[in-house]
């Protein structure tokens, strides 16, 4: 636990994070630029990339989005983060990343490419949750789709309430 007046802002500053389009804050920390690029259907990609990703009380949701690549998440510190994973068949998983492993929280989480994913900060005493993500093939914004509330609700009506909670209003 970090004890300071605004620990989330202190972490953002210490790690030089910036706002992420899906919500929260991030900074790329690694890309495999000393290796040959991988050829994918979307074009050449790094073998792997990695980021810090932070959710805060002021930005507590990483809204639903779809990635082509596999992602490994690693919990570092702060409050727990709940993930909502909607598979193509409509099934839902809600793993929680956090340090309370004896209570079922996970330190690592694998999310295969091709799954709709959202995250939300669970309330706790820190006001933030910090993870890292390793993405392979490496992350490229061209391989990510932000969830459209209307389209997702039509495709997965059984999860409409969750989708409304974890997406932005349609423009």
Q: Is residue 33 situated within a structural domain?
A: yes
Handedness of CA 144, 145, 147, 153 (dihedral sign): negative
Q: How does pLDDT run across 91-118, given as a tens digit for each residue?
A: 999 999 999 999 999 999 999 999 999 9
Q: How many C-beta neighbours within 10 Å does residue 38 have?
A: 16
Q: What is the pLDDT of residue 6?
A: 84
Give me the residues paired with residue 93 across strands: 85
Q: State the pTM of this model.
A: 0.92
Q: Is residue 2 situated within a structural domain?
A: no
Q: Is residue 56 situated within a structural domain?
A: yes
Q: Is residue 155 situated within a structural domain?
A: yes
Q: How does pLDDT run across 131-152, given as a tens digit for each residue?
A: 999 999 999 999 999 999 999 9
Q: Is residue 24 situated within a structural domain?
A: yes
3-class DSSP assignment, residue 8: helix
What is the mean predicted confidence (pLDDT) over 154-171?
A: 91
**CB contact at 8 A, 56 and 126:** no
- Is the confidence at residue 12, as pLDDT, over 80? yes
- Measured CA to CA, the distance from residue 12 to residue 157 in angstroms comes to 36
Q: Is residue 170 situated within a structural domain?
A: no
Give me the residues paired with residue 50 across strands: 30, 134
What CATH number is associated with residue 12?
2.60.120.10
Q: What is the pLDDT of residue 4?
A: 57
Domain that includes residue 96, residue range: 7-165
Q: What is the pLDDT of residue 170?
A: 64
DSSP string of 81-150?
A: EEEEEE-TTS-EE--EESS-GGGT-BSEEEE-TT-EEEEEEPP-SSSEEEEEEEEESPP-GGGEEEPPHH
Q: Is residue 171 situated within a structural domain?
A: no
pLDDT band for position 2 (cuts 50, 70, 90): very low
Class of residue 77 by CB neighbours under 10 A (exposed 0-12, middle 13-18, buried 19+): middle
Q: What is the pLDDT of residue 88?
A: 96
- Measured CA to CA, the distance from residue 103 to residue 119 in angstroms comes to 19
Please state the domain count of the chain.
1
Q: How does pLDDT run across 27-80, given as a tens digit for each residue?
A: 999 999 999 999 999 999 999 999 999 999 999 999 999 999 999 999 999 999
Q: Is residue 96 situated within a structural domain?
A: yes
């Amino acid at each position: 636990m970090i004890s300071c007046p605004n620990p989330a802002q202190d972490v953002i500053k210490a790690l030089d994070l910036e706002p992420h389009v899906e919500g929260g804050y991030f900074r790329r920390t690694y890309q495999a630029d000393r290796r040959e690029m991988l050829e994918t259907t979307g074009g050449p990609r790094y073998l792997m990339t990695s980021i810090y990703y932070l959710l805060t009380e002021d930005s507590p949701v990483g809204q639903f989005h779809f990635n082509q690549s596999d992602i490994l998440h690693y919990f570092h510190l702060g409050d727990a983060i709940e993930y909502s994973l909607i598979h193509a068949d409509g099934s839902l998983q809600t793993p929680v990343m956090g340090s309370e492993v004896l209570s079922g929280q996970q330190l690592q989480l694998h999310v295969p490419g091709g799954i709709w994913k959202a995250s939300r900060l669970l309330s706790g005493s820190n006001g933030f949750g910090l993870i890292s993500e390793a993405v392979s093939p490496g992350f490229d914004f061209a391989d990510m789709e932000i969830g459209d509330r209307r389209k997702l609700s039509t495709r997965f009506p059984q999860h409409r309430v969750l989708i409304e909670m974890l997406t932005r209003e349609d423009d």
